Structure 1
């Protein structure tokens, strides 16, 4: 790489690490990062806002399993990306944000330079797993080694690299890098202890989190060997679709809590056991978990709840080891019946309004099998997070849990489609949330992506209005006027149709829009929320 600038070398080294796409908006502070991009073979996607770049990188990472990468300018470019970084941190999504920064000698001096921040590196550290500066011509290799170690070891999340203006154009100097110790292998003694406890238990329940979403075969093999119901958090939906042991319902529901509390051994796989999954109603109560066996990549995470056995490691490595360590004879513990009763009770518990919306989701799944369903905080997403059995592992994800950022759905769906162009991506957003990032849909038109944006239009923020009303607060600020979505779609170059909020009508609209090819928009005309009068 002799003769390359730092900026060119950074791009080349990203390509060596299997980065094939970056999301970014070029600016005067990142020109040197773009010098080698056109010839690198890395695809560049231009969002309309740096927040969109971050959310696109998030959706790309969830669909591909590889880190999503965003290029942003210093100052406002980075601050606009902090929200997506926080969402990625909350949901353990690997993301690399590369930004410029002003010249080294000016940093921290408040001299009034363009895009200046008091401490950009420190600001990024508030949400990133690591934030590093390429401080001289010899620093690139060790910085990349450290940040990619963070991306691929332990609990995933966002990392940040900044390159000062005066460093980016310097000639790159290759620097030997000391090897970083990989994670320790899974402790076989803990596997033996866990397998013994599982074998002796009479009523095992498995809690599958997002860390299990790429380990479906091992999860099914273990569940069947233990005859154990499998409860899925939001980020695990799609695992074991239609299986008799599947419980595709929120562990915050009373019916699911009862199942968990009836177990004499609970096996948690890649789940942080956090309140947005396990106590979404903010009651302060979690289901009691007897004989908890907890498997997670993050040692800090494993220290937050008391467990009988805590195993640090990747779920996809631990599951085969547990299956092998179990006795060969299949266990009989009425797991299928326990799962069925829980599914039935949870279905009744969510109520008629949410059941109707789940029926719409089911119809959409039938109309577009094996699709990626990406969402924002809106009524059908809330319903699906409570109860929905998707037909693709890792194919249901949204920003209504964890950090909970509005504006996520549209750009994340674009990132997911870039990652897997072979499937249809269905983006489900409300009319309010869509207005946070609606211009990003133009990137889908630019790239001719197979994304259908489903706008659930009830003319306002119904969830917030309901919460205000339930708290005895006069509803105010919850009815922003939606745009004319038909005119918007036309101006964006998207095909457009409308449908009432009925399962078969929505399914038909989805089939028709998909048949046209390319990006599309469907407006679902849901009933407008009307606050109760005093």
Structure 2
């Protein structure tokens, strides 16, 4: 008797052959055929409490591991629920593969009120992913999956969506070759562009380098080039840890800081911007206006379209960041010196003006208690501070939803994905009491899966940042003084250890206890308590 392998089962085998080991998803009547193949596949499956949570978990997993986070999502409401997470991943170039069902092929576009029906589901998802494809035949599954994984291996990453009609999911795919296809490598630079870049850098007196998230894997090459030119290095939030934070040429802070903006726009005669959009949330967080560099600009990006956005380049290098920087180093003369160390010292001194002692102390406690760790931030006061002043020893150790798409409700689920991917590294999910209410239901997902994430809720009884903006704009505080739940009681009701911290000392003790417990824990931090004695 011949055993039939369905398209859904073949898809699971393909995922495994491409190195996927974890799936985030919520089963539904329209995805049963996807789950038929999971039983014997030896893949970890995590069931969030909301499809948006699945997307954020996949996002956190991908940022820590560098591998695509994979989601199984039902038709219709499942997809509308996950699009916010896909939007965040798209803005931050996070590899994510979303596999969904869709109504049967003969029902598509008919508008007959079928269960979970959308007029054009692919049209919706196409706005928040690199590409979206409707699989109409099992025969095309291997090539479509290869196209998806080629985005992750050789292009600017981001979400990819593949939807499969219910009848196609159940069709026979026993004849398919489900081995992984050889994937293309990232593109190398055009020699003429490298020659032009070297010509500018060779004569520069005050060069400066900016590293964005696209330089995540280019740390060694970036450091070599910085040392060759003795030039300051500034990083965006998504490039934290790409350059060692104790390196003498590393500036830290944020490109949005007025002093660094001035160095980029007015002082540098050549700026080399690597893997960065030059976009508002990294360069204009304080709403000073779009970045406008007066010197020559070299842009390096794996996305050719990005080389034409936000700021004109004098030299545009379409290439993988590592390959481009290595090629530039090979052609540069040896030991060019432009007094970069003095410029770095001046910048480091200039950016201390926005430091706030209470936040510095807060992060110092985390470093002292946990050592190297991963912090996953939501839109909350300490995360705004961390964008400028918290640096890490390696990439993927700090990230948040404050920049890019700027969603709320990110940290609770994203920290789960991060913890699954982080191995022995401790993981903190840092959220505010307001943003936390978007997704606090995912605490029980962490408990259920025995994920030892430590949640830290910065509690200022409402949307504190928006209150501040309203005050500055002389707008009445309407809608921002929302009541938070009793976070510790709520966490305990879900089987999560919970601690209250009203002082910095209590926070340190709670963090030590949570780390020692080795299970899911939540610390509710009183902002007013931790701010006591500090000028706020």
Structure 2 length-normalised TM:
0.94
1:211 corresponds to 2:214? yes
Kept after mapping to 2: 8 A contact 1:365/1:390: no
Kept after mapping to 2: 8 A contact 1:370/1:392: no
Q: Find 1:435's aligned residue among 437, 458, 469.
A: 437
- The whole-number CA distance in structure 1 between the counterparts of 2:188 and 2:11 is 31
- Say which SS state the counterpart of residue 413 (structure 1) adopts: helix
Q: Find 1:375's aligned residue among 367, 372, 377.
A: 377
Q: Find 1:444's aligned residue among 443, 446, 451.
A: 446
Displacement of 1:223 after TM fit? Answer: 1.4
Kept after mapping to 2: 8 A contact 1:54/1:85: yes
Aligned length: 524
Residue of structure 2 equivalent to 1:194:
197
1:464 corresponds to 2:469? no
Kept after mapping to 1: 8 A contact 2:55/2:86: yes
Kept after mapping to 1: 8 A contact 2:26/2:51: yes
Residue of structure 1 equivalent to 2:324:
318
Across the aligned residues of Structure 1 and Structure 2, the Cα RMSD in angstroms comes to 2.1
1:298 corresponds to 2:300? no
> Could you list the per-position Cα deviations for residues 165-206 of structure 1 after superposition, in whole angstroms to 9, with x for gaps in the alignment?
111111014279998876543222322332232222111111
- The whole-number CA distance in structure 1 between the counterparts of 2:503 and 2:362 is 8
Bigger drift between 309-318 and 428-437 goes to: 309-318
Residue of structure 1 equivalent to 2:260:
256
Residue of structure 2 equivalent to 1:240:
244
Residue of structure 1 equivalent to 2:534:
none
Q: Find 2:388's aligned residue among 383, 386, 389.
A: 386
- The whole-number CA distance in structure 2 between the counterparts of 1:180 and 1:418 is 26
Kept after mapping to 2: 8 A contact 1:358/1:380: no
Change (3 A) 1:204 1:500: farther
Structure 1 length-normalised TM:
0.94
Displacement of 1:19 after TM fit? Answer: 0.7
- The whole-number CA distance in structure 1 between the counterparts of 2:153 and 2:10 is 21
- The whole-number CA distance in structure 2 between the counterparts of 1:68 and 1:113 is 30
- Say which SS state the counterpart of residue 438 (structure 2) adopts: helix
Bigger drift between 18-27 and 279-288 goes to: 279-288
- The whole-number CA distance in structure 1 between the counterparts of 2:48 and 2:131 is 25
Kept after mapping to 1: 8 A contact 2:278/2:291: no
Residue of structure 2 equivalent to 1:108:
109
Change (3 A) 1:171 1:285: closer
Displacement of 1:230 after TM fit? Answer: 0.9
1:337 corresponds to 2:358? no
Residue of structure 2 equivalent to 1:532:
none
Change (3 A) 1:236 1:181: closer
Change (3 A) 1:487 1:344: same
Kept after mapping to 1: 8 A contact 2:280/2:290: no
- Say which SS state the counterpart of residue 128 (structure 2) adopts: coil
Give unpaired runs (5+ residues) of structure 2.
532-536
- The whole-number CA distance in structure 2 between the counterparts of 1:316 and 1:303 is 20
Displacement of 1:512 after TM fit? Answer: 2.4
Kept after mapping to 2: 8 A contact 1:58/1:412: yes
